[in-house]
Amino acid sequence: MICVAVGESPSVLDDAVLAWGLAGDFTSAFAEVNGTTLHYVAGGQGEPLLLLPGWPVTWREFRHVMPLLAERYRVIAVDLRGMNLSGKPATGYDKKTMARDIFELVRHLGYSKANIAGHDIGSMVAFSYAINHPEAISKLAIMEVGHPDSSLYDLKLLPYDGAPNLWWFPLNQLRGLPEQLLAGRMQFVVDHVFDTHLVDRGKVDVQDRLAYARAYDNAEAIRAGNGWFQAFDQDVADFKAYDKVTVPMLGLASPANFAGVQQAWPQLGTDVQVAMIDGTGHFLPIEQPEAVARALTDFFG
């Protein structure tokens, strides 16, 4: 793998080399959809299965899951609008628009339907996809995070009783200041997030941490990533108009989140199952790729 210093732009070559090294004949490619450019990595054979990552990671958070899934599916891991090598337009970071990006990518790739699995921000987009494009999805899996709803307004500024400190939610709501504070310094953010959200900090090595930091390290990338959070008001408004997910839905959660997921997520769809992935913090696909791949394979069939 080629590694460059933090502060440089993400490298097309770096992602292409990493994709090429994965078992399953993966390749890195781009598509022009919905007025922006999406970067994706695809490999394997079978029914299409799209993987949507979250913040502050990229498609590579699935890199240990992808070869396992590629034995049975055409796996397509996508950098979302605003992420890594994908386009960073000025607008369009509400989850309905981002779901439209993925819908048009599915059509661009020649499929009428696909299975969708998301983590973190990717879960929000995956859920919106299932609601807004039910004719183009077979099954839905989300990990750790659901679609933004009005419960976001109840989050505490000062967490207590062991509640997680979601400091980046209010920080990423600000316009302009995060770019000034964090450009060239995202390594500190990435390290902090991993060190506080992994059971085993060693699961994300130095090269991966550098790559994630590089993907978010310039002002344009910070502004785009913040757009996912700044669109929450619109997302909450959209959610109020949504009915339940009508396709089969799987929710995967870490032990810390499972109780809440088990209580809330079955209400989101007409056919919902939930499962806990042991031995992991927030980043399920990174810490327990075999367990995640097994759960997804059992669910998607």
CATH number for 165 = 3.40.50.1820
On whether residue 195 sits in a domain, the answer given is yes
Residue type, 146: G
**Per the structure, how many domains does the chain have?**
1
162: exposed, middle or buried (Cβ count in 10 Å: 0-12, 13-18, 19+): exposed
Q: How far apart are CA 126 and CA 115, in angstroms?
A: 10
CB 64 within 8 Å of CB 289: yes
On whether residue 169 sits in a domain, the answer given is yes
Residue type, 92: G
On whether residue 289 sits in a domain, the answer given is yes
This model's pTM is above 0.85 = yes
CB 273 within 8 Å of CB 245: no
On whether residue 49 sits in a domain, the answer given is yes
Q: How far is CA 237 from the centre of its chain?
A: 21
On whether residue 3 sits in a domain, the answer given is no
On whether residue 2 sits in a domain, the answer given is no
On whether residue 5 sits in a domain, the answer given is no
pLDDT tens for the chain, residues 1 to 301: 333 344 456 678 899 999 999 998 999 999 999 999 999 999 999 999 999 999 999 999 999 999 999 999 999 999 999 999 999 999 999 999 999 999 999 999 999 999 999 999 999 999 999 999 999 999 999 999 999 999 999 988 888 887 778 999 999 999 999 999 999 999 999 999 999 999 999 999 999 999 999 999 999 999 999 999 999 999 999 999 999 999 999 999 999 999 999 999 999 999 999 999 999 999 999 999 999 999 999 999 9
Max CA-CA distance within the chain?
49
Domain around 63: 12-300
On whether residue 166 sits in a domain, the answer given is yes
